[in-house]
A and B are shown apart, each in its own frame.
Chain A
Amino acid sequence: MRVSPDELKAKIIESLKLQDITPEQIDNDAPLFGEGLGLDSIDALELVVLLEKNYGIVIKDIEEGRPAFKSVRTLAEFIEARQPSK
């Protein structure tokens, strides 16, 4: 299933309760952690929950999710690759 980056951005904003930011302001390739959106390790865990809640993807080790959490694009690709086929 295709994952729309805009839909994913809206979900990220909602689940991380990001303040004063709209989906349009997030670049598909901008780093989510460190400099980009300034997210931290707890946000990474919230992304893990987001994946379970919305896409049924369970991550047990944060290292497993690390490459996926680089940007919105890598996250969307990760979801497409890992999502259980429906």
Chain B
Amino acid sequence: MTGRLPVVTGLGIIAAPGCGVENVWQAVVTNREGLKPLSLFHSPRYGQLPTGEIALDLDSLGAPRRGSRSDRLGWIAAREAIKHARLDCSEKPERIGIVMGSSVGGSFDSEAFLIKLIKNGKMRPRPTRFHECISVVDLIASEFGFLGPGIALATACSSGALAIATAADLIVQGEADTVLAGGADSLSHMTWGGFHSLLLVDAAGCRPFDAKRAGMSLGEGAAVLVIEAEETARERGANILARLTGWGASCDAHHATAPEPQGAGAAAAMKSALSRAGLAPADIDYVNAHGTGTRDNDLAETNALKSVFGPKPPPFSSVKRFFGHTLAASGAIEAVLCVEALRHQQLLPNLGFSDPDPAIGLSPVLKSDSASLANVMSNSFGFGGNNAVLVFSAADSFPGTRAHRAEPVAILGLGVLQPKQLESCEVKAPLPPDRVTSFSCGSLPEASTLNPNQRRRLSRLIQMALLSARKAVDGRSPSRQAVAIGTGLGCMEDAGTFLENMIAKEEREPMPAKFPGSVHNAAAAQVAIDLAARGLNSAPTVADLSFEAALWQAVSQLSANEADFALAGAVDELNKYPLAIGKRWKIWRDGHRPGEGAVVAQLGKINAGSQPMARVTAVHLGRFSVPFNADKEAKWVASLVNLKNIDTVVTGMGGWPRLEKPYSDLVAGLTRFTGRSLNHQLYKPSVGEFPAASAFGFAKAVELVKSGSRGVLLLTLSPRGGKAVCVIEQ
């Protein structure tokens, strides 16, 4: 399996210090201050604070027009990385995948919709087209023609690093030969107001690890790495820049925003990455710290460093003062810098530090001195106690990385929740008029089983996920449990309420309790806290394939023996925003019904004693080429799945009108392949249309297997070009 170990062959970056790896590297090694007052949008209260805004004109950099600011930043970084890797994207495009971390998605652009609506009463939904986190993946994949798996992950500030870790899993499992991986996030009113409402922004600019540190600085940017299987990189004669030898993830399962003070979760992720790389703590020559400059993060992180490396950890530093905290991009930007540090054999300086903090008792690297670097570690931590750690090693090192294959897994429990009042909500409440009006489906009756803090603080979406997860685990809650809960739109209600208030009151009297709930991984994080699940914690945001991506990650964690149990699920809520915007886009016509709900499955390894309700024997993602070619796509399914065992196919027909024909042609194509007719079952006519709906298709497939089907194929297409196939068997 050593041929399938991941190597890095290309890098791309855009951030406040500049565009291009060389420019950014020069800014960092010369300790050049990169933060300036905000000019991207008007901030009545905080506009003068040092910020990592990109002052470059994205048009003149050639970025495509069709995309949000985040999408276009991602495209610019991807273009550089592809060129750097000398990657021919037309060569086996179905073997090239993309995984991007995104925290705000197209929020900066879609906020324009809300601002216009609140200030002028005008509803122009166009800016919302690129709102979803998957939009950056769609733009890059469609511009460069990739047809491999396309995944977006929204785990707040660890997203970029988790995307790179996920790319490594895709490669070792053979799902792709090449994966573009990184993160992209633009500044937005949402995160700007959000971090200010949490009093987490340092008015003097961030000072990581300094005694007087008082918070972060915000920034924006994107970075992309080309990660390849070593064998294919060597075959095409690519220049190997470094190896990605270790990757690990964990969850604090402690609090929505605050890190666990001892850094136990962070330390667990570091140990997991070391174990994956087959390295000892003493092998690490430099640690690129998360180091946001908040009092809590920097203290917890140094506690974690001490617990992994002992009282004298290796040289470490944070580069946040150069970029600001670029949220989902930060892990990717820092991964690029770690590869450059290895190539130049030079340390990265910690700008903004002057006085050591006695509570920390350690000082970071201050100059870009030469050093002998064989292995470097990069930390990224996010809201929800979400930790991801990467280890990069010199290109000429001999890796001891542990690879794994995807194994079939057992389905141990299933929690399905579709609010009962949905029906009356649909019947009684007329879809909102062109102006957004107050609209709510009400609280969940089952919420009475939640504790008072969960009831008062958590949104409907999070409550739905919690209730489904509790049903699925039915008491089986070991700490080595991974949680992957996908969502198409996330907690829009919380995000929208927070933003409306912020815009209307010009940043006064914010709603701090709404901000942590607005991140897409809030549901997965709250489930982890509720169940004390300390394994990987992820929130794939892959539009209609959000459930399938979560299932893929859960299976991958079990197969790699990173967890004993894993939850895979998806959740989306109905609220006034998708209803109103959907109405303007004429989505809800022809009997096409909006829906909401959550499904969470608990998965475990297959062993002699277990009596699973069914097994998941395959999960694969990709993108279909346009125009849709049913024969080609049926061949793709047949190449991955043993169709002999399949008697039933469950599809997402009965939803998006433009997918009706592709679905029916695909099922017909599969019938030709098998030479017998397949029982075709649908779920959308009963559950409605929403991104997480395919999780209900999965629940249906499990029920079919329980009632006698030998094998069920769950086929899902996304109107955005994604495809997925899962097999559920007895």
For the complex formed, measure the closest distance between the CB of A72 and the CB atoms of chain B, giving whole angstroms: 19
Quick check: is A34 within 8 A (CB to CB) of the other chain?
no
Contacts of A81 in B (CB 8 A): none
Please state if B256 and A42 are interface contacts (CB–CB under 8 Å).
yes
Of A3-11, A12-20, A25-33, the stretch lying at the interface with chain B is: A12-20
18 contacts between A and B (CB under 8 A): A17-B457, A18-B456, A40-B255, A41-B255, A42-B457, A42-B512, A42-B516, A43-B513, A45-B197, A45-B512, A45-B513, A48-B199, A48-B512, A49-B511, A52-B509, A53-B509, A59-B199, A60-B199
A-contacting residues, B444-493, CB 8 Å:
452-453, 455-457
Q: CB within 8 Å of A: which residues of B?
A: 197-199, 203, 214, 255-258, 452-453, 455-457, 508-513, 516
A19, B452: Cα distance in complex, Å: 6
Please state if B512 and A46 are interface contacts (CB–CB under 8 Å).
yes
A19-B452, A48-B199, A49-B510 as given contacts; A61 in contact with B214, CB under 8 Å = yes
Contacts of B453 in A (CB 8 A): 38, 40
B-contacting residues, A41-65, CB 8 Å:
41-43, 45-46, 48-49, 52-53, 59-62
> How many contacts between A and B, using CB within 8 angstroms?
47
For the complex formed, measure the closest distance between the CB of A82 and the CB atoms of chain B, giving whole angstroms: 17
Main secondary structure of the interface of B (DSSP, over half): loop
A45, B453: Cα distance in complex, Å: 16
Give chain A's interface residue range (CB within 8 Å of chain B). Answer: 20 to 34
A49, B193: Cα distance in complex, Å: 13
Please state if A52 and B456 are interface contacts (CB–CB under 8 Å).
no
Contacts of B255 in A (CB 8 A): 40-41
Please state if B512 and A49 are interface contacts (CB–CB under 8 Å).
yes
Can you name the residue of chain A whose Cβ is closest to the Cβ of B255?
A40
Q: Which one of A18, A40, A45 lies within 8 Å of B199 (CB-CB)?
A: A45
Given contacts A20-B452, A45-B512, 20 further A-B pairs with CB under 8 A are: A17-B457, A18-B452, A18-B456, A40-B255, A40-B453, A41-B255, A41-B258, A42-B198, A42-B256, A43-B513, A45-B197, A45-B199, A45-B513, A46-B512, A48-B199, A49-B197, A49-B512, A52-B509, A61-B199, A61-B214
A77, B457: Cα distance in complex, Å: 28
Contacts of A20 in B (CB 8 A): 452
A45, B214: Cα distance in complex, Å: 15
Can you name the residue of chain A whose Cβ is closest to the Cβ of B509?
A53
Contacts of B258 in A (CB 8 A): 40-41
Contacts of B457 in A (CB 8 A): 17, 42
Can you name the residue of chain A whose Cβ is closest to the Cβ of B512?
A45
A45, B498: Cα distance in complex, Å: 14
Please state if A41 and B456 are interface contacts (CB–CB under 8 Å).
no
A16-B456, A20-B452, A42-B513 as given contacts; A52 in contact with B508, CB under 8 Å = yes
Contacts of A49 in B (CB 8 A): 197, 509-512
A62, B255: Cα distance in complex, Å: 18
Contacts of A60 in B (CB 8 A): 199, 203
For the complex formed, measure the closest distance between the CB of A51 and the CB atoms of chain B, giving whole angstroms: 10
Contacts of A42 in B (CB 8 A): 198, 256-257, 457, 512-513, 516
A20, B451: Cα distance in complex, Å: 11
Please state if B452 and A62 are interface contacts (CB–CB under 8 Å).
no
- Rank and list the top 6 A-B pairs by shortest CB-CB distance, nearest first: A45-B512, A17-B456, A19-B452, A53-B509, A62-B199, A19-B456
A61, B255: Cα distance in complex, Å: 21
A14, B346: Cα distance in complex, Å: 55
Contacts of A59 in B (CB 8 A): 199
A38, B257: Cα distance in complex, Å: 16
A41, B452: Cα distance in complex, Å: 16
Contacts of B512 in A (CB 8 A): 42, 45-46, 48-49
Contacts of A17 in B (CB 8 A): 456-457
Contacts of B511 in A (CB 8 A): 49
A45, B455: Cα distance in complex, Å: 19
Can you name the residue of chain A whose Cβ is closest to the Cβ of B296?
A41
A53, B453: Cα distance in complex, Å: 23
For the complex formed, measure the closest distance between the CB of A18 and the CB atoms of chain B, giving whole angstroms: 7
For the complex formed, measure the closest distance between the CB of A73 and the CB atoms of chain B, giving whole angstroms: 24
A19, B510: Cα distance in complex, Å: 22
A72, B452: Cα distance in complex, Å: 21
Can you name the residue of chain B whose Cβ is closest to the Cβ of A60?
B199
A56, B509: Cα distance in complex, Å: 10
